Homo-oligomer: A and B are copies of this chain.
């Protein structure tokens, strides 16, 4: 059989028949960190693969796969339920396995629960309601496209926003994936190019300012999300941060006791002044692996490769730490994040300062909210645009893949 391993890509040829577990063992891969796809479907550890099968193995950050091949899940009351159809994904944290249909239901229910009962907010307050206009920040990756898919399926007014960061072929492929997703669903997608609108890309901006690519990129995206939402009258910006993202961020913030960040790490950040839109994270209860599986089950094409500029991002180190602990204690990651949000987050409420912050006004350059005279985005942009002409002409895009 032909086995295609993704990210980094390579192809292995193995003689069948072999079970999925045997294939993973021969390739020295852990079933807890990959999804196995054959004939467009997820398959579990005990599934037998034949010589003629085309198999794809996609890395995901965490999760688990045992030998529980039937759709059986544990409901909130602790009772086992399920249709006993062949399962396509297991999750030790939930002590559950699901058939494709019930897995989609599981993902939708987790998101529904998050929307209707966000933690660390007043009781009965929802993240958003059916009357709100939502702007979903989509990157072309699994999390944001799956989130947009669920929100449309649940009947919300959800448009998309893609920001072109100018990261070579990676950005071009990501934009195509988002455009095709929107076209197939008749959904509206806004596209903003950093280069066309603001005069720089993530790599040139980082080079010109001397800041990290992740730093320049993050500030630019957060600004553009809010700006587009304000300009087009959206009520809420929705982002696809998942359980793994949020748990790793929390760990980094706790290890350094970053009080202002701990005060703001919430699935709901209300708007605190003019020209500011509420921000929400409805995926924080779902892992990366669950989101990747959702995309496969629903046939959503997403960009599997990671951002080529992400090297050295400490978020990866923190995720690896949590994965190692999760492997021996399934559910630990969720316990860490949910424990903080449900019980301890309010301990940092005082560190958040005034609401709205004292001195919050409008940026002299762009009119967006800031506590200074010129907002952080405009200051960064000014610095970049001043330095860009000085960059050597023969390395305008750093060492970027342009395929």
Which A positions have Cβ atoms within 8 angstroms of B?
251, 254-257, 314, 317, 321-322, 324-325, 328, 332, 335-336, 339-340, 343-344, 347
Q: Which residue of B lies closest to A262 (CB)?
A: B344
Which among A251, A325, A332 has the highest number of chain B CB atoms within 10 Å?
A325
**What is the bound-complex CA distance between A256 and B280, given in angstroms?**
25
Q: Give, as a whole number of angstroms, the nearest-CB distance from A314 to chain B.
A: 8
**What chain B residues lie within 8 Å of A343 (beta carbons)?**
257
Once the chains bind, are B256 and A335 in contact (CB under 8 Å)? yes
Q: Give, as a whole number of angstroms, the nearest-CB distance from A391 to chain B.
A: 28
**What chain B residues lie within 8 Å of A335 (beta carbons)?**
256-257
Once the chains bind, are B317 and A257 in contact (CB under 8 Å)? no
Once the chains bind, are B257 and A332 in contact (CB under 8 Å)? no
**What chain B residues lie within 8 Å of A254 (beta carbons)?**
254, 336
Q: Which residue of B lies closest to A258 (CB)?
A: B339
Which among A251, A321, A336 has the highest number of chain B CB atoms within 10 Å?
A321
Once the chains bind, are A340 and B255 in contact (CB under 8 Å)? no
**What is the bound-complex CA distance between A256 and B333, given in angstroms?**
9
**What chain B residues lie within 8 Å of A256 (beta carbons)?**
332, 335-336, 339
**What is the bound-complex CA distance between A257 and B332, given in angstroms?**
10
Once the chains bind, are A332 and B255 in contact (CB under 8 Å)? yes
Q: Give, as a whole number of angstroms, the nearest-CB distance from A382 to chain B.
A: 30
Once the chains bind, are A324 and B332 in contact (CB under 8 Å)? no
Known contacts A254-B254, A256-B332, A314-B328; 20 further A-B pairs (Cβ under 8 A): A254-B336, A255-B322, A255-B325, A255-B332, A255-B336, A256-B335, A256-B336, A256-B339, A257-B335, A257-B336, A257-B340, A257-B343, A257-B344, A314-B325, A317-B324, A317-B325, A321-B321, A321-B324, A344-B347, A347-B347
Q: Give, as a whole number of angstroms, the nearest-CB distance from A310 to chain B.
A: 16
Q: Give, as a whole number of angstroms, the nearest-CB distance from A322 to chain B.
A: 8
5 smallest A-B Cβ distances: which pairs?
A257-B339, A347-B347, A321-B321, A255-B336, A254-B254
- 9 residue pairs of the A-B complex, CB under 8 angstroms, read A255-B322, A256-B332, A256-B335, A256-B336, A257-B336, A257-B339, A257-B343, A317-B324, A321-B324
